[in-house]
Amino acid sequence: MKIVSYNVNGIRAALKKGVLDWLVAANPDVICLQEIKAQEDQLDLSQFEAAGYPYTYWFSAQKKGYSGVAILSKTKPKNIVFGTGIESMDFEGRNIRADFSNVSVMSLYLPSGTNIQRLEHKFEYMDLFKSYIDELKKEVPNLIICGDYNICHEAIDIHDPVRNKNVSGFLPEERAWMSNFLKSGFVDAFRHLNKAPHQYSWWSYRANARANNKGWRLDYTLVSTPLKENIKRAVILSEAVHSDHCPVLLELKQ
């Protein structure tokens, strides 16, 4: 099973940049999208079906043109869960889950902490999300949480850990939360297989950051520990340039 996660920074903008041609070539079984910035009725769903994804599920923010997540699949899931049922988490459209026969796949877009109010919201969301997942794992043990976590976990995951130590996305409290989340029963699939530095999934549009590979690894495929032995491949697809993020890919042995 091949799963891709991609923060597209606006699905309509990404479509104009050829993301569907890329998707056909990459050919994942499931793709998790974040930051779609669109409502379902603003999209021509037939183009996704033509690309091989007849099953598309969209969970948009209440605010138009903002946030939102989606899951596109080649096969029909057994069940789809929109949101978490927690209003303070769901009004911005940040979680959607598709249950298949052997695994459940979640697309997550964790808030960024761009100012003090948003940082407070981010920490509240992180706490609620951890509690939600602790309960969910009891009934859905084979869980994969793909998405933009807006956190660089370790110094290896960011181009300049010293200068960014007080910047949201690399704060000690955020990094500790990620460590604790992993210890609660998840594996960072990419780092499980790849210990090399300078591997990033997001670059600022400013100062030629992408060309100089001054990036951050914000996008993850976290696999619950019962699936650890099924991890076959986990890579960052940095050649895809439809967004300020790039996709991350996870392949599981069935």
Q: Where is 12: in which H helix or E strand?
A: helix 11-16
The structure tokens 């910047």 sit at: 167
| C-beta neighbour count of 59 within 10 angstroms | 24
* 55-59, strands of its sheet edge to edge: 55-59, 69-73, 30-34, 2-7, 248-252, 231-236
Show the tokens assigned to 127.
């706490």
Show the tokens assigned to 218.
């914000």
Please state, in angstroms and rounded to a whole number, the distance separating the CA atoms of residues 79 and 81.
Answer: 7
Catalytic residue list = 148
User: What's the Rg (C-alpha) of the chain?
Assistant: 17
In angstroms, what CA-CA distances link 81 with 13, 84, 175, 247, 253? 26, 8, 28, 23, 25
Nearest to 173 by CA among 218, 122, 131, 243: 122
Please state, in angstroms and rounded to a whole number, the distance separating the CA atoms of residues 194 and 157.
Answer: 12
